[in-house]
Structure 1
Amino acid sequence: MNVTELLESASLLVPQEVATENDFSVEDIWDYLVHDEWQIALNLLEELGGGIPLPLAFWEQLAEAATQLGLERSRAWCHWRCSEIMNGMIRADLTLRPAHETRRTTPISGHGVLRPMWDIGHLSPTGHTSVSIAGLWVEDMPLLHPGGRATVRLVPLTPAHWTHVQPGQLITMHEDRTVAGTAVVLEARPPSRTTPTI
């Protein structure tokens, strides 16, 4: 499919009554598509998809459209949302330790590159802390500096390890044996049992 077909198909998966914070709707997206304003249509569809759960096919089509348009950040975000549907998602308020208290002295990329270890309360058979890995996406920020604080989205590498994680729970981030940051869980969504397609 070409870009127009992908965006048209994705827009059909959004309920007609859904609107963005600025009151843009699916009808507005069709107007942009008629005028070949693909990037605007893609951005609005991403925004519409942020408010309600949409099927895997929606995000796959947006990812392919972003790829065809050469929009790397949008492509990465749409693939990330696909991962959230398949593996579950944890939103958390993360505070990184300052650079002088940890080995990290550079900012973390906000766009899902880092896959740190997390202490989420599991113990090994010998009684030591057992960590689980999850990818990290920083909401609304391209970088998170040491000592910084932001809302993050985590996608578990092994979803079964994360089933007990609940809002309000404190979890710790590790890039080595030391604590790199602490996070309070805001939301925990399990993997989707079904991945509807068109």
Structure 2
Amino acid sequence: MNQFLIVGLGNIGAEYHHTRHNIGFDVVSAFVLKHGGLFQTGRLAEVAEVKWKGRQFTCIKPTTYMNLSGKAFKYWLDKEKITLDATLTIVDDLALPLSRLRLRGSGSDAGHNGLRDIQLTLGTDQYPKLRFGIGNDFPRGRQVDFVLGRWDPVEIPIVEQKIAKCVEAIELFATVGLEKTMNLLNNLAFK
């Protein structure tokens, strides 16, 4: 059975529910829900096990807060004995417009605290990341409020489309691999 670690980045606590910064949590939750899994409290994370098409997915939402995401990532990677290329980390990205998703097999943290901590903990940036564009439509000096804010009502239909496409991307990643999934995903524009 092929094993995968699916990591959604976000912050715990009701005040962060469904904020832009928590889109990783929302995507992983949607994937688990679609496949009939249930999250339980585990070490350093909410954890759900999903079986689908002969594949085993360990899905985590770290409870360490964003800045210490690497701790949960590494714990579950080691515990489940999963290789780095069989992981997929879902994260919000300010540098991408809301209309875009970007999947890459490696790459820098791009200033994202959760990715920075994972990279520091692992000692590498060579692991797959699915970046969910959140745009950067905020006044100067208001980045934190924007990132930790909830979606505008006009954005919600696009966000919902993109969450569904991310769930599909997780399935494709596990069945056809990174390269083919990148080719299918990276040129899409959502409206």
* TM-score normalised over the length of structure 2: 0.29
- Structure having the larger proportion of residues in strand: 1
* TM-score normalised over the length of structure 1: 0.28
Q: Which has the higher contact order (CA 8 A, sep 6+)?
A: 2
- Structure having the larger proportion of residues in helix: 2
Looking at CA atoms only, which structure, 1 or 2, has the larger radius of gyration?
1
